Amino acid sequence: MSKKTSASSQTRSGAKPRSKVGVKSAKRPDPKAIGLAVKPNAAAQGDPMQAIGAQRQLTTQVKTARKRSNSSARWLNRQLNDPFVAEAKRQGYRSRAAFKLVGLDDRFGFLKPGARVLDLGCAPGGWLQVAARRTGADQADNENPKPSDARVLGIDLQEVEPVPGAVIWQGDMRDEDTQAWVIEQAGGKLDAVISDMAAPSTGHAQTDHLRVMTLIDIAFDVAEQLLAPGGTFVAKVLQGGAQKETLDRLKTNFKKVQTVKPDASRSDSREQFIVAQGFKG
């Protein structure tokens, strides 16, 4: 079953009626309405990454309550003391992972104004928010049309709350009808295909690595069909010994391939991101 959602519409023009999803998602509260937005300090008024750096100096210690396990206390302590979590709330991003994409784009500059971008495995929507803001896709209204041909599309197996400036399709990225929808919505081939997908952890490092590499291969299969010449492919990878074959494949199809770890990736995490630019088509 597939379903498209957007900030303004949740039906596809000319498409056959689709069955409704049985569970209705609760409406996401406005961050400002629940006090998540705060007055920016001096650092935040300039470079937001400076504000994050300033927040690293402040820590909160969480005590283990009678009804809270040690693992829960550690998780809460990490969340409370994570400057990227605080900055994500301040800027209205749905997750701290948004700053991974911010860092990658600051370095490689693939989210250009007017770009056509596809986010694979887009839930909960933080990467869509970044892409829509940076390409200008979120600026559309009756008086201010989108700059150029900016399009931000998202695909996920689960339902995702609408993101201003983005159009979301609920379905499998490998399906032909899903890929046909992408081409229709983008008005042609894409400038970037990005993915922060990760398989659920098994606790076994090598197994987790192999599962993530499988996701990358699937994502590139999709990107290979949809990217325009010169396009960019970004995907998450876990450090391990089975990525050489995937990197060799990407180096054959792109002019430049790099593996980097954004500042927003946790220091104890094995995650990195492959950035492949200059798709040869």
Which tokens belong to 55?
A: 């927040």
Could you give the C-alpha distances from 85 to 81, 98, 99, in angstroms and in order? 8, 10, 10
Query: 218-247: string of b/e by CB count within 10 Å (b at 16+)?
Result: bbbebbeebbeeebbbbbbbbeeeebeebb
Burial-class residue 270 by CB neighbours within 10 Å (0-12, 13-18, 19+): middle
CA gap 164, 140 in Å, rounded? 9
Active-site annotation, residues: 236
